[in-house]
Amino acid sequence: MRKYRIRVGLDVDDTLYECNSYAVSIINERHPDEEPIRIEDIKSWGGSERHGDERVALYSDPDFVSTQPISEGAQEFVKKLSEIADVFFITAVPARVMSARAERLVKDFPEIPAQNIIMGTRKDVISLDIMLDDGAHNISSSRAAYPVLFRKPWNTGLSGLLSVNSYDDFLHFCEMVRNSFAENFPKLSDGGVLCLVGPSGSSKTEIANGLTALDGFEKPLTSTTRPRRKTEGAEAYRFISEAQFLKEMKAGNYIETTVYSGYHFGTSERDISPIVENGHIAVIPIDICGAITLKNLYRRRCMLVFTRRDRAEAIKSIISRDIDIDDKTRRIMSLDFEYRNSEVCDVEINVGDDVNAAIGQIVELVYQK
In a domain? residue 33: no
Domains contained in the chain, number: 2
Q: What is the mean pLDDT of residues 225-239?
A: 83
pLDDT in tens, 269-328: 888 999 999 999 999 998 888 888 888 888 889 999 999 988 898 898 889 887 888 878
Look at residue 30 and tell me if it is in a domain.
no
The pLDDT of residue 79 is 96
* Residue 16 pLDDT level (bands cut at 50, 70, 90): very high
- pLDDT score of 159 more than 80: no
118-147 pLDDT tens trace:
998 888 888 898 999 998 888 888 888 889
Cβ atoms within 10 Å of 158's Cβ, excluding its own: 19
Residue 51 lies in a domain: no
**Quick one: 213 and 284 in the same domain?**
yes
pLDDT of 17 reads 97
CA distance 25 to 31: 10
In the structure, what pLDDT confidence band is assigned to residue 223 with cuts at 50, 70 and 90? very high
Claim to verify: residue 108 and residue 213 sit in the same structural domain: no
Domain that holds residue 305: 192-368
* Residues comprising the chain, all counted: 369
Question: Which of 178, 209, 235 is the last residue in one of the domains?
Answer: 178
- Does residue 14 sit in the same domain as residue 106? yes
CATH of the domain at 113: 3.40.50.1000
pLDDT band at residue 157 under the 50/70/90 scheme: low
Q: Please give the pLDDT value at position 45.
A: 74
Percent of the chain past pLDDT 70, that is, above it, reads 96
Residue 218 lies in a domain: yes
pLDDT at residue 258 greater than cutoff 80: no
The values of phi and psi at residue 8, to 5°, are -120, 125
Closest alpha carbon to 307 in 349, 359, 341: 349
Q: Is residue 253 domain-shared with residue 134, that is, in the same domain?
A: no
Backbone angles phi, psi at 10, to 5 degrees: -120, 125
Give SS3 for 13.
strand
* 203 and 332, same domain (yes or no): yes
- Characterize the bridge pairing of strands 256-260 and 263-267: antiparallel
Q: What is the C-alpha to C-alpha distance for residues 166 and 49, in angstroms, rounded to an integer?
A: 26
Q: What is the pLDDT averaged over residues 89-98?
A: 92
Residues 346 and 200 in one domain: yes
Q: Find the range with the poorest average confidence among 75-79, 123-127, 215-219.
A: 123-127
**The predicted structure's pLDDT at residue 4:** 54
Q: Residues 263, 362: one domain? A: yes
**Nearest to 15, CA basis, from 154, 133, 157:** 133
Q: What is the pLDDT of residues 292-309, one digit of tens each?
A: 888 888 888 999 999 998
Establish if 202 belongs to a structural domain: yes
In-domain check, residue 184? no
Same domain, 201 and 122: no
- In a domain, residue 200? The reply is yes
The verdict on 168 and 199 lying in the same domain is: no
**Binning pLDDT at 50, 70 and 90, where does residue 183 land?**
low
Q: Could you give the CA distance from residue 302 to residue 176 in angstroms, rounded to a whole number?
A: 13
Give the model's pLDDT for residue 3.
Answer: 43
- Assess whether pLDDT exceeds 50 at residue 43: yes
Q: Are residues 173 and 262 in the same domain?
A: no
Average pLDDT of the segment spanning 335-361: 87
> For residues 266 and 93, what is the distance between their CA atoms, to the nearest angstrom?
34
| CB-CB neighbours of 75 under 10 Å | 15
Give the residue from 120, 148, 178 where a domain finishes: 178
CATH value at residue 347:
3.40.50.300
Domain presence at residue 346 = yes
C-alpha dihedral sign at 244, 250, 254, 256: positive
Are 49 and 43 in contact by the 8 Å Cβ rule? The answer is yes
Q: Number of helices (H) and strands (E), helices first, in the chain?
A: 15, 15
Domain identity same for 334 and 239: yes
Residues 248, 157: one domain? no
Last residue of a domain, one of 178, 203, 234: 178
pLDDT at 1: 31
Inter-residue contact 199 to 315 (CB < 8 Å): no
Report pLDDT for 2: 38
Mean pLDDT of 92-121: 93
Tell me the whole-structure pTM to 2 decimals.
Answer: 0.70
